[in-house]
Amino acid sequence: MTELLVANMAPLMFVCIFVFLLVGYPLAFALGANGLFFGLVGIGLGLLQPQFFQALPERVFGIMFNETLLAIPFFTLMGLILERSGMAEDLLDTIGQLFGGVPGGLAYAVIFVGALLAATTGMVAASVISMGLISLPIMMRYGYDKRLASGVISASGTLAQIIPPSLVLIVLGDQLGRSVGDMYAGALLPGLVLTGLYVLYVLGYSILRPGSAPALPDSARTLRGFALLARVLTSMVPPLVLIFLVLGTIFLGVATPTEGGAMGAAGALVLALLRRRLTLDLLRQALDKSARLTCFAVFILIGATVFGLVFRGVNGDLWVEHLLVSLPGGTAGFLIAVNLAVFLLAFFLDFFELAFIIVPLLAPVADKLGIDLVWFGVLLAINMQTSFMHPPFGFALMYLRSVASKDISTGTIYRGAVPFVAIQLAMVGLVILIPSLVYVETRQTIDLQNVRIELPRAEDDGTGAYPGTDAPPAFGQSGDPGGSSR
């Protein structure tokens, strides 16, 4: 029995984690409790040394000194200030006026505003709730199909998962050991392509079913000509400037992601002040929610650190590596299995939990198979995006349900999400088929094992010394600077 327990310690740890999750135990405490329990069991069985846990305090306190994770509260604060300062309302109203004259125009407006909010706030909840409160009643008033309206609002909000400055990419960069700037650069094009796929879906829907996505009547389009141009400039220029301030400085190497997040938070304060919507109550709410989200992430990371330390101590990482490397199909088989597993786990886990539990186990295997970790991280981020759209536990669907009117049923919201989940999965396949969609900076690598240092050979003149290596004359001899007699 003891030998069986020792041989299967790693699988048992995984089983216990899922049991805790199924009974509703908080993940952070489930991870920590599992790690401590199995660590003590391992010490009792002689699998681990008694001093094994001495490394734990240093690892936990090391989380507090991680500058990469410091970007999370800054970007969260920036997003909350912008969301509460009314930027989403202004953008939706302006772009709705701009595209309202074409079939599906309001849906296009929601998608473009979702992309802009993703590039400024980086938060799914803020995007979905804002667009659900503002756009959904208008789309219903003008005869949009309920499934299309709910699906496009939910999906556009999840663009914040993949378009920089995404919190997911910050966490993935930290867990994969890659810079956040590289993750942002790699995810930018796939995020834009995914936005384009949403637009193509709405275009096809409006062509096949024009009555389900009608154009706005002329009476609803109150801005035209120079008035519309002025409104577009005043509504879109400030967030675009903020996007360049944050992402531009990070991409150009002028600022680190943490510094970019700090500048973004300061820029959001300035924009809210210029809009005359900066109040002490707004600032208090933004700071409170930023602190809560940051503590949530840090507690999960502490639990994952305890779990990961013990899991590696019982050779769980080797168990996972042997399990995945032995899959048929090599690299392709690994990618298919990993993406299928992440997609299924996303029914029960959110992106923080997936990033802190699953990614550290997959990264060494991907690296061993020769997969670039930046590309791998972006691929996982696109897949994790579906965790917000999965019926019945998708957070984006829950956010929309909380603000939608009663005449839009929960089943309608779920059915509206299905086509967009299919589009997200198609994007996963597209990245696998066309890896160049993810920008990966090529760096020259040097294999230290093959480095050879060769010096030019010189002929021996018979004296045992080589030309140019004669010893200097002794002090006081002729030719020496001090050799001349006085």
Q: What is the pLDDT of residues 98-109, one digit of tens each?
A: 777 788 888 898
- Write the CA distances from 164 to 75, 182, 190, integer angstroms: 10, 11, 11
pLDDT in tens, 451-477: 666 666 655 555 555 555 555 555 444
Query: Any idea what DSSP says for residue 244?
Result: I
- pLDDT at residue 429 greater than cutoff 90: yes
Sort 224 into a burial class: Cβ within 10 Å, 0-12 / 13-18 / 19+: exposed
Q: Which 8-state DSSP code applies to residue 7?
A: H
Nearest to 166 by CA among 250, 50, 108, 86: 250
The helix or strand, by DSSP H or E, that contains position 235, with its residue range, turns out to be helix 225-243
Q: Of 50-59, 439-448, 467-476, which range is least confident?
A: 467-476
* Percent of the chain surpassing pLDDT 70: 88
Scan for tokens 């061993």, then name that residue: 368
Mind listing the pLDDT tens digit for each residue in 220-232? 667 677 777 787 7
pLDDT average, residue stretch 3-13: 79
Tell me the torsion sign for CA atoms 333, 335, 340, 344. positive
Q: What is the mean pLDDT of residues 249-260?
A: 84
pLDDT tens-digit profile of 20-54? 877 878 878 888 888 889 888 888 888 888 777 88
Check residue 485 and give its pLDDT: 42
Predicted confidence (pLDDT) at residue 190 exceeds the cutoff of 90 = yes
| Residue written as token pair 């600032």 | 283
Pick from 60-74, 219-233, 321-335, 351-365: least confident: 219-233
* CA–CA separation, 56 and 342 (whole Å): 28
User: Does the N-terminal peptide bond of residue 328 adopt cis geometry, omega within 30 degrees of 0?
Assistant: no
**How far is Cα 255 from Cα 278, in angstroms, rounded to an integer?**
26
DSSP-derived secondary structure letter, 398: H
Residue type, 97: Q
Contact 109, 66 (CB under 8 A): no
pLDDT value of residue 443: 60
pLDDT of residue 390: 80
Q: Locate tokens 């004359």: which residue?
A: 473
* Tokens 């930046």 found at: 374
Give the pLDDT band of residue 189 (cuts 50, 70, 90): very high
Distance CA 374, CA 198 (A): 24
Can you give the pTM of this predicted structure? 0.79
d(CA 240, CA 252): 17
88, pLDDT greater than 80: no
Q: What is the mean pLDDT of the chain?
A: 82
